[in-house]
Amino acid sequence: AQTVTQSQPEMSVQEAETVTLSCTYDTSENNYYLFWYKQPPSRQMILVIRQEAYKQQNATENRFSVNFQKAAKSFSLKISDSQLGDTAMYFCAFMKFRGAQKLVFGQGTRLTINP
Amino acid sequence: GAGVSQSPSNKVTEKGKDVELRCDPISGHTALYWYRQSLGQGLEFLIYFQGNSAPDKSGLPSDRFSAERTGGSVSTLTIQRTQQEDSAVYLCASSLSTGGLAEQYFGPGTRLTVT
């Protein structure tokens, strides 16, 4: 079975700073997908960024980028020039490439951006 | 267009009662997922529907939980004889197809409190 671990329950940074959220996972699969989701107080989960394990290039989406280390089974999220609207819970998630289509989530990191 | 909607947004019930939670997916989305988010926890997969295929029920925690999807659209999650440990936010998601490249769009969830 796959597991996802987020070792930072809470983080806090000042607006405009850069912050990195950690995620490690365990799987015997060779191909899979990794995701970062954001959950603001409204509870609605929003996809931030996705990485396909068969791609070596790290995914980027505007101020959000990942550092994907397949051998180390590490998938961290970097938020540059953080904004107050980035305040939310962030979840790392795993999905198999084939078979069960469910997302396996980590426990989440509560990120607070301070003015 | 309209996103995933869920009703009710909040539900308080007495221990031992049955509850029904409703999910309206995005029109045209063939895949539908239910997840549970307990306090301070990540999301836990419950059940997955894809088209006319048999649902993947592997995440349902007990036989008190069941779900159906009528006409390939609306889904209802039913919890019989509710227990206090069932208290959680129940999230529904839908996607246009299946696989990691098909983004799962989440609804705002139903917060269930069992007293």
Q: What is the mean pLDDT of residues A104-111?
A: 96
B77 and chain A: CB distance < 8 Å anywhere? no
pLDDT tops 70 at residue A72: yes
Question: Would the CB atoms of B56 and A100 count as touching at under 8 Å?
Answer: yes
Question: Going along B14-115, which residue ranges are E strands?
Answer: 19-24, 31-37, 43-50, 65-69, 75-79, 88-95, 105-106, 110-114
Question: A71 vs chain B: nearest CA distance in angstroms?
Answer: 20
Question: Would the CB atoms of B33 and A102 count as touching at under 8 Å?
Answer: yes
Amino acid at B91: L
Q: What is the pLDDT of residues A39-62, one digit of tens each?
A: 998 888 999 999 999 998 999 999
- pLDDT category at A99 given cuts 50, 70, 90 is confident
Average pLDDT, chain B: 93
The pair of structure tokens assigned to B17 is 């009662």
Q: What is the pLDDT of residues B57-68, one digit of tens each?
A: 999 999 999 999
The whole-number pLDDT of residue A52 equals: 93
The span from the CA of A18 to the CA of A8, in Å, is: 16
Question: Would the CB atoms of B56 and A33 count as touching at under 8 Å?
Answer: no
Say if residues B91 and B112 touch (Cβ distance below 8 Å).
no
Q: What is the mean pLDDT of residues B74-96?
A: 96
Residues of A in contact with B50 (CB under 8 A): 101
**φ/ψ (deg, to 5) at B29:** -75, 125
Question: A83 vs chain B: nearest CA distance in angstroms?
Answer: 23
Question: Would the CB atoms of A91 and B99 count as touching at under 8 Å?
Answer: no
Please indicate whether residue A14 or residue B103 has the higher confidence score (pLDDT).
A14
The pair of structure tokens assigned to A99 is 């078979």
What b/e sequence results for A101-114 when a residue is b if at least 16 CB atoms lie within 10 Å of its CB, and e otherwise?
Answer: bbbbbbbbbebebe
Question: Would the CB atoms of B100 and A32 count as touching at under 8 Å?
Answer: yes
Q: What is the mean pLDDT of residues A30-36?
A: 94
The pair of structure tokens assigned to B107 is 């609804």
Give the best residue of B34, B39, B43 to mutate against chain A (max A CB count within 10 A). B43
